[in-house]
Chain A
Amino acid sequence: MAVIEVKNLSKNYGEVEALKSISFEVNQNEIFGLIGPDGAGKSTLIRILNSLILADKGEVSVMGKDPNKQYQYIRNHIGYMPGRFSLYEDLSVKENLEFFATIFGTTIKKSYNLIKDIYQQIEPFNDRKAGALSGGMKQKLALCAALIHYPKVLFLDEPTTGVDPVSRKEFWQIIKGLHQHNITIIVSTPYMDEADLCDRVALMNEGEILRIDTPQNVANSFDKPLYALEAKEGNYKLIKALRAYSFLDSVFPFGEKLHYTDKRENDIKAELKKHLTEEGFSDISIEKIASNTEDVFIRLMNNQKQ
Chain B
Amino acid sequence: MFDRLKGIIKKEFYHIFRDQRTLLILFGIPIVQIVLFGFAISNEIKNVKIAVLDQSKDEHSSQIIDKVLSTSYFDLDSYVNSLDDINDAFQKGRIKGALVFPPKFSETLRKENKADVQIISDATDPNTGTQIGNYLLLQVQQYLMEHEITATSTLPPALINTEVEMRYNPELKSVYMFVPGLITIILMLVCTMMTSIAITREKETGTMEVLLASPMHASIIILGKVTPYLLLSFVNASLIIALGKFIFEVPVLGSYVLLIGEIILYCLVVLALGIFVSTVAETQQLALMISLFALFLPTMLLSGFIFPIENMPLPLQIVSKIVPATYFNIIIKSIMLKGATLNFILKETLILIGFFFILMGVSIKRFKIRLE
| Residue ranges of A at the interface with B (Cβ–Cβ < 8 Å) | 47, 50-54, 71-72, 75-76, 78, 80, 82, 84-91, 95, 98-100, 102-105, 145
Residues of chain A within 8 A (CB-CB) of B15 are 88, 90
Q: Which of B195-210 contact A (CB under 8 A)?
A: 205-207, 209-210
With known contacts A53-B371, A71-B369, A86–B209 Cβ distance under 8 A = yes
With known contacts A52-B212, A90-B19, A102–B370 Cβ distance under 8 A = no
Asked if A80 contacts B210 (CB within 8 A), the reply is yes
| Other-chain contact of A87, B8, B14, B210, B216 (Cβ < 8 Å) | B210
| Residue ranges of B at the interface with A (Cβ–Cβ < 8 Å) | 3-4, 6-8, 10-11, 14-15, 18-19, 205-207, 209-216, 369-372
Residues of chain B within 8 A (CB-CB) of A72 are 215
5 CB-based A-B contacts, threshold 8 Å: A53-B370, A75-B213, A87-B210, A90-B14, A103-B211
Best-buried of B14, B213, B214, B372 by chain A (most CB within 10 Å): B213
Minimum CB–CB distance for B8 against chain A, Å:
7
Cα A266 to Cα B206 with chains together (Å): 54
Residues of chain A within 8 A (CB-CB) of B213 are 50-52, 75, 78, 80
With known contacts A53-B372, A86-B207, A99–B214 Cβ distance under 8 A = no
Asked if A88 contacts B209 (CB within 8 A), the reply is no
Asked if B11 contacts A82 (CB within 8 A), the reply is no
Having A52-B213, A80-B213, A100-B214, one finds 15 other A-B pairs with CB under 8 Å, namely: A47-B371, A50-B213, A52-B212, A52-B370, A53-B371, A54-B372, A75-B215, A78-B213, A86-B209, A100-B210, A102-B4, A103-B8, A103-B214, A105-B3, A105-B215
Residues of chain A within 8 A (CB-CB) of B210 are 80, 82, 86-87, 100, 145
Asked if A88 contacts B207 (CB within 8 A), the reply is yes
Asked if B214 contacts A87 (CB within 8 A), the reply is no
**Interface SS of B by simple majority:** helix
Minimum CB–CB distance for B42 against chain A, Å:
41
Cα A89 to Cα B19 with chains together (Å): 12
Residues of chain B within 8 A (CB-CB) of A102 are 3-4, 6-8
* Chain B residue at minimum C-beta to C-beta distance from A79: B213
Cα A104 to Cα B8 with chains together (Å): 11
Asked if B371 contacts A85 (CB within 8 A), the reply is no
Asked if A91 contacts B372 (CB within 8 A), the reply is no
Asked if A91 contacts B4 (CB within 8 A), the reply is no
Asked if B205 contacts A86 (CB within 8 A), the reply is yes
Minimum CB–CB distance for B284 against chain A, Å:
15
Asked if B212 contacts A105 (CB within 8 A), the reply is no
* Chain B residue at minimum C-beta to C-beta distance from A155: B213
Asked if A104 contacts B11 (CB within 8 A), the reply is no
With known contacts A54-B372, A103-B8, A87–B209 Cβ distance under 8 A = no
Asked if B14 contacts A76 (CB within 8 A), the reply is no
| Other-chain contact of B371, A52, A75, A99, A145 (Cβ < 8 Å) | A52
Residues of chain B within 8 A (CB-CB) of A78 are 213
Best-buried of B205, B210, B212, B216 by chain A (most CB within 10 Å): B210
Residues of chain B within 8 A (CB-CB) of A103 are 4, 7-8, 211, 214-216
Minimum CB–CB distance for A132 against chain B, Å:
13
Minimum-distance CB pairs A-B, first 5: A102-B7, A86-B206, A76-B215, A80-B213, A75-B215
Cα A287 to Cα B275 with chains together (Å): 65
Cα A91 to Cα B8 with chains together (Å): 12
* Chain B residue at minimum C-beta to C-beta distance from A142: B210
Residues of chain A within 8 A (CB-CB) of B371 are 47, 52-53
Cα A48 to Cα B193 with chains together (Å): 32
Cα A239 to Cα B210 with chains together (Å): 46
Asked if A75 contacts B214 (CB within 8 A), the reply is yes
Cα A98 to Cα B372 with chains together (Å): 28
* Chain A residue at minimum C-beta to C-beta distance from B221: A103
| Other-chain contact of B4, A47, A84, A105 (Cβ < 8 Å) | A105
* Chain B residue at minimum C-beta to C-beta distance from A90: B18
